[in-house]
Structure 1
Amino acid sequence: MRVGFVLLESFTLNAFSGFIEAMRLSADKGGRSRQIACGWEIMGGKDVTASCGLKITPTSELADPGLFDYIAVCGGNGYLERQQPRWLDDYLHRAADAGTPLIGLCTGTFNIARAGLMEGYVACVHWNVFEAFKEQFPHIRAVPDRIFVHAGDRISCAGSAGACDLALHLITQHCGHEKAQQSIRHMMLQGVRPSTHPQAHFYGEMQNVRDSAVRRVVHLMEQSLNEPPRVPELARQAGISPRQLDRRFIAELNQTPSRYFRDMRLRYGAWLLTHTTDKIAQIAVDTGFADAAHFSRAFRALYSTTPQGYRTAMQPESRNHTDPSADITKAARAH
Structure 2
Amino acid sequence: MMVEQGSETSISVPVIKPELRVGFVLMNHFTLVPVAGLVDSLRFAADKSFRSQQVFCQWDWMTLNDQPIVASCGMPILPTKPLNLWAHYDYIVIAGGLLGETRNPPDWLLDALRDVHAANIPIIALCSGSFVLGKAGLLDGRRCALHFTLRDEFKERFPNSTAVIDKNYVDDRGIITCPGGTAIDLAASLIRRHCGAVRAQKGLEYLLVEERKESESTAPEGVVYLNDRVQRAIAFMRNNLDASLTLKAVADAVGTHPRQLHREFVANTQEPPANYWRKLRLDQARRLLVNTSQNITTIALACGFSDASHFILWFRKQYGETPYTFRKRRHEVERFDWHHERVGFDPEL
Work out whether the TM-score is over 0.5. Answer: yes
Give matches, 1:95-134, under 5 Å: 95-134=116-155
4+ runs of 1 displaced by more than 6 Å?
Answer: none
- 1:148 aligned residue: 169
Give matches, 1:217-236, under 5 Å: none
* Mapped contact 2:127–2:179 kept (Cα < 8 A): yes
User: Is 2:55 the counterpart of 1:55?
Assistant: no
Where 2:39 maps in the other structure, the secondary structure is helix
Alpha-carbon distance between aligned partners in 1 of 2:184 and 2:217, rounded to the nearest angstrom: 18
- 1:238 aligned residue: none
Q: Pick from 35, 56, 74: which aligns with 2:54?
A: 35
Amino acid at match of 1:55: P
Where 1:43 maps in the other structure, the secondary structure is strand
- 1:67 aligned residue: 88
Q: Pick from 82, 87, 93: which aligns with 2:114?
A: 93
Cα distance change on mapping 1:81 and 1:12 into 2, 3 Å: closer
Cα distance change on mapping 1:153 and 1:18 into 2, 3 Å: same
* Mapped contact 2:23–2:85 kept (Cα < 8 A): no
- 1:329 aligned residue: 224
Alpha-carbon distance between aligned partners in 2 of 1:82 and 1:24, rounded to the nearest angstrom: 31
Alpha-carbon distance between aligned partners in 2 of 1:324 and 1:76, rounded to the nearest angstrom: 24
Structure 1: gaps spanning 5 or more residues = 195-320
Where 2:138 maps in the other structure, the secondary structure is coil
Alpha-carbon distance between aligned partners in 2 of 1:324 and 1:192, rounded to the nearest angstrom: 11
- 2:282 aligned residue: none
Structure 2: gaps spanning 5 or more residues = 1-19, 228-264, 269-349
User: Is 2:209 the counterpart of 1:186?
Assistant: no
Q: Deviations over 1:120-162 (max 9, x none)?
A: 211111111111111111111111111111123111111112x
* Mapped contact 2:72–2:97 kept (Cα < 8 A): yes
Where 2:226 maps in the other structure, the secondary structure is helix
Cα distance change on mapping 1:13 and 1:324 into 2, 3 Å: closer
* Mapped contact 1:168–1:192 kept (Cα < 8 A): no
- 2:337 aligned residue: none
Cα distance change on mapping 1:79 and 1:137 into 2, 3 Å: farther
- Deviation at residue 191 of structure 1 after TM alignment: 2.3
User: Is 2:25 the counterpart of 1:25?
Assistant: no
Alpha-carbon distance between aligned partners in 1 of 2:23 and 2:54, rounded to the nearest angstrom: 13
Amino acid at match of 1:118: L
Q: Percent identity?
A: 36
| TM-score normalised by L of structure 1 | 0.58
Q: CA RMSD in A?
A: 2.3
Amino acid at match of 1:329: V
Where 1:142 maps in the other structure, the secondary structure is strand
* Mapped contact 2:102–2:131 kept (Cα < 8 A): no
Cα distance change on mapping 1:39 and 1:52 into 2, 3 Å: same
- 1:174 aligned residue: 194
- Deviation at residue 48 of structure 1 after TM alignment: 1.5
User: Is 2:18 the counterpart of 1:12?
Assistant: no
* Mapped contact 2:96–2:129 kept (Cα < 8 A): yes
Alpha-carbon distance between aligned partners in 2 of 1:92 and 1:324, rounded to the nearest angstrom: 25
| TM-score normalised by L of structure 2 | 0.56
Alpha-carbon distance between aligned partners in 1 of 2:70 and 2:45, rounded to the nearest angstrom: 26
- For these two proteins, the number of residue pairs brought into alignment is 208
Cα distance change on mapping 1:130 and 1:27 into 2, 3 Å: same
Amino acid at match of 2:194: H
Amino acid at match of 2:140: E
